[in-house]
Amino acid sequence: MKTLNWILFAFFSIGVGLYPVIYLLIEGRFGLLESKPDALLASQLWNILFYQHIFFGGVALLIGWSQFSSRLRQKYLSTHRLLGKVYVAVCLLSGSAALYLSFHATGGWIAGFGFGGLAVIWIYTTTKAFLAIRQKQINQHQAWMIRSYALTWAAVTLRIYIPLGQIAQFDFIEAYRVIAWLCWVPNLLVAEWIINRMGILKIVKA
């Protein structure tokens, strides 16, 4: 079961991490772009930050999952450290763009607050993870990285919930307002459960 969970974890991380490439292969509106008004899609700033968000977020997904493999970490420590620095950089770039995009979220202010909250907490947890390892606080670093990647994984859960909502024939806008919170709040709760199960919570002082 543990091996299967790890395979699924890597599969979804890599699969959704590669998802932004589709935007380069398909012309015209695709995916969530179909719900955006023409005026917004014509904005150069919005387009720059949209692609900054999805591509750097994709990189975070692609490299982040491997950081949790103790075998890879012990065998390739220098690579682990390099990928960790790249992960922090791309999360901050993607998260800062996501914060701007949240002001133009489909679904209005409810969805906007959801995605904006995700962006702020994603930046915060990633920064805390980076500062902890700089201070050689290994346990704190591990706990904050678990939280950070749980929020990175919102990209995965978002793409699970949206088609489920469509299958259930929920109104897209109403469902999207809920998904703007559902895609990351449960992830963070699961992260806290994992940290507690590993015994890190007793050490970490938030």
User: What's the pLDDT score for residue 146?
Assistant: 96
- pLDDT tens digits, the chain, 206 residues: what are they? 677 888 888 888 998 889 888 887 777 666 677 778 888 888 999 999 999 999 999 999 999 988 888 787 788 788 888 999 999 999 999 999 999 999 999 989 999 999 999 999 999 999 999 999 999 898 999 999 999 999 999 999 999 999 999 899 999 999 999 999 999 999 999 999 999 988 765 544 44
CA gap 15, 61 in Å, rounded:
9
User: What's the pLDDT score for residue 200?
Assistant: 65
User: What's the pLDDT score for residue 87?
Assistant: 97
CA gap 9, 150 in Å, rounded:
11
CA gap 159, 33 in Å, rounded:
14
**Buried b vs exposed e over 119-135: b needs ≥16 C-beta within 10 Å?**
bebbbebbbbbbebbee
User: What's the pLDDT score for residue 60?
Assistant: 96
Contact between 179 and 165 (Cβ < 8 Å): yes
> What is the model's pTM?
0.89
Number of H helices, E strands in the chain: 11, 0
- 124, amino acid identity: Y
Query: Which helix or strand (DSSP H or E) is residue 26 part of?
Result: none
Contact between 151 and 125 (Cβ < 8 Å): yes
